[in-house]
Amino acid sequence: MAEAFIGFVVSVSLQSGLKLTGTVAHIEPASQQMTLKDVELQFPNQPVFYTSVYGVFGTDIVDLQVVSQAAAAAGTKPAVTRSIARDVPHQKDDQPPTITIQQQGGSRQHDGKQSQQNNNGWADEDVNGFIEKEFDFQANLNMFDKKKVFAEIQERDDTAPETLLVTLNRLPRKPNGSRTNLLPTENVLDGEPKETSHKTAPAIRTADTHINCVTVSPLQMAHAEHECIKVTGPSEVQLIENGGRGVSALALQRVQAGNTPIVMVLTGNNKTGAYGVSTARHLANHGCHVVVCASEQLQNLCDTISMQESMFIRIGGDIIYDFDELNRWSPDLIIDAMVGSENKLMEQEDEKEEYEALRRMICWAGNQSAPVLSIDFPSAIGGGRGRSAEHWIRPRWTVCLGAPKTGCSSTDVTGTLYMADIGIPRTCWKRAGVKGWTVPWGASFVVELEYVS
Residue 378's contacts (CB-CB under 8 Å, 6 or more residues apart) are 336, 386, 392, 393, 394, 395, 398, 413, 414
Furthest-apart CA atoms within the chain: distance in Å: 129
| Residue 294 · residue 267 · CB < 8 Å | yes
Q: Identify which of 218, 243, 238 has the alpha carbon closest to the alpha carbon of residue 228.
A: 238
Residue 5's contacts (CB-CB under 8 Å, 6 or more residues apart) are 24, 27, 66
3-class DSSP state for residue 19? strand
Which pLDDT tens digit goes with each residue over 181-224? 676 766 666 555 455 555 677 899 999 999 999 999 988 999 99
What per-residue confidence (pLDDT) applies to 175?
60
Which pLDDT tens digit goes with each residue over 422-444? 999 999 999 998 988 888 888 89
- The total of other beta-carbon atoms located within 10 Å of residue 319's CB is 17
What per-residue confidence (pLDDT) applies to 388?
52
Mean of pLDDT over the chain:
79
What per-residue confidence (pLDDT) applies to 106?
43
Which pLDDT tens digit goes with each residue over 145-160? 778 888 888 778 777 7
Residue 320: Cβ-neighbour burial (10 angstroms; 0-12, 13-18, 19+): middle
Residue 389's contacts (CB-CB under 8 Å, 6 or more residues apart) are 380, 381, 382, 383
Cis peptide before 331 (omega within 30 of 0): no
Which pLDDT tens digit goes with each residue over 381-422? 765 555 556 788 999 999 999 999 998 999 999 999 999 999
Counting residues of the chain whose pLDDT is more than 90, the rounded percentage is: 38
Q: How large is the average pLDDT for residues 89-96? A: 44
- The total of other beta-carbon atoms located within 10 Å of residue 342's CB is 17
When pLDDT is cut at 50, 70 and 90, the band that residue 356 belongs to is: confident
Helix (H) / strand (E) containing 355:
helix 352-366
State if pTM tops 0.75: no
Which pLDDT tens digit goes with each residue over 11-65? 988 888 888 899 988 888 877 888 889 888 888 878 888 888 888 888 888 888 8
When pLDDT is cut at 50, 70 and 90, the band that residue 99 belongs to is: very low
Instruction: Give the helix ranges, DSSP H, for 84-187.
Output: 112-120, 137-142, 146-156, 165-169
